[in-house]
Structure 1
């Protein structure tokens, strides 16, 4: 199972749906990543892939200052799971991996 790639995520929160993009890539044998959305770019931390289960943490300041913990299950090019911020209820997360353009596949 691979988590690498660019993922378009949708998080259903109590204040509405938030769209974000995460990028995951290996660096020196370790999975690294960042999230882009709501006008900010933040690094992902504690990224762990165990079989088809992917977890990570990230801090955001928009729309609120929160420390988020994500736990999702990857099934091919889709993922589903939750995002949790402290004592707040878990928010549903869905996502789809972006297709790699054919030209990029040949360069790799």
Structure 2
């Protein structure tokens, strides 16, 4: 049976690791938006590999529901406290974990 940790470990291996300016590692978590975590190209390759690894039909994923994603400007937090208003849904590792358990893509 597939667990959340199996899927999280898979994505941590497939996606580039993030870090701070002081070189502190930022590990990927279940509820992190993949759009904020890494580039869209990296996400696409990871989704393709996810489909092969967990035998899920990833063609059911409608990327128009998740992209384009508004990326926050690095210095924005110094000028305003308002969060960036997203018009698209976040794509998270938890969504992939739940879909792997079900054996098909559950969202959209």
The interval holding the TM-score normalised by the smaller chain is under 0.3
Q: Normalised by the size of structure 1, how large is the TM-score? A: 0.24
Q: Which has the higher strand share?
A: 1
Q: Computing the radius of gyration over CA atoms, which structure comes out larger, 1 or 2?
A: 2
Q: Which has the higher helix share?
A: 2
Higher relative contact order (CA 8 A, sep 6+): 2
